[in-house]
Amino acid sequence: MLFVPTAELSVTMPLAGSVDDTPQRQHFHVEAFCVDRTEVPMKSYSSAECGEPDRTCLLNASRNGPAVCISERQAECHCERSTPPGKRLPTDAEWLLAALGTDGRPFPWGSSAYPSGYVIGQNFCPEQANVATKDMMCPVDANVLDVSPFGAIGMGTNGTEMTSSCLVPESAPGSLRCVIRGASIDAGPLRATTLWPKEETALTATSNKSFRCVTSERASR
């Protein structure tokens, strides 16, 4: 895991859950934490303890790619059962800090929409990467040009990623939705907010929604 120190995060982005998508300046105080270097690989997902992914959905997934076709509850279960102890899904602020740092960059790799020397599907894996079939994603450790200031790989491309931050959106009162980030190469993570039902099942999961875990354990020692 990678260490992310305590920081004040200030970003300009649409307010999650608002019907007004005008970017607004937002500030977060984020305590130190550790984050997985990559998305959880499909082959490492804890199926026996946390439930099988949806098999129909998996037809469009890669064995070597991120863990997908599971619900947020299943992702939380995997983090809780992983080592070191105390792992969980990141909050939205933690995810943004791990992806972008504090220097104002719009993409994990810098200010340009594409990093220098990229080859789609090899060292850089945006949504349009074709790996065997249209919907398959790259292996989690292959996307080496999508690297954040802290060394995290794949936070701006490959799969979208779940966070633990949930809210009731203005467009759907009474429905609890959770924030998902990443994988929007044209807009960047700051404008890639997606809201997903908290109580979804694996049957409603998708083949491009993945996750990584964080822990505050090291920071508390």
Q: Which residues pair with 10 in a beta bridge?
A: 27
Residues 67 and 211: beta-carbon distance below 8 Å: yes
pLDDT given for residue 23 in this prediction: 85
Number of domains the chain contains: 1
Distance, in Å, from the CA atom of 219 to the CA atom of 15, rounded to the nearest integer, reads 29
- pLDDT tens string 188-204: 565 556 666 666 665 56
- Residue 44 lies in domain: 2-220
pLDDT given for residue 155 in this prediction: 92
pLDDT given for residue 221 in this prediction: 44
Q: What is the mean pLDDT of the chain?
A: 84
**DSSP-assigned letters across all residues of 8-30:** EEEEEEPPTT-S----EEEEEEE
- pLDDT tens string 135-183: 567 899 988 999 999 999 999 888 889 999 988 888 878 788 888 888 6
Distance, in Å, from the CA atom of 31 to the CA atom of 219, rounded to the nearest integer, reads 8
Distance, in Å, from the CA atom of 39 to the CA atom of 25, rounded to the nearest integer, reads 28
pLDDT given for residue 3 in this prediction: 96
- pLDDT tens string 32-63: 999 999 999 999 998 899 999 988 888 877 77
pLDDT given for residue 193 in this prediction: 62
- pLDDT tens string 125-137: 876 554 444 556 7
Q: Give the number of other Cβ atoms within 10 Å of residue 103's Cβ.
A: 8
Q: Which residues pair with 167 in a beta bridge?
A: 177
% of the chain at pLDDT higher than 90:
40
CATH number at residue 13: 3.90.1580.10
Q: What is the mean pLDDT of residues 64-75?
A: 89
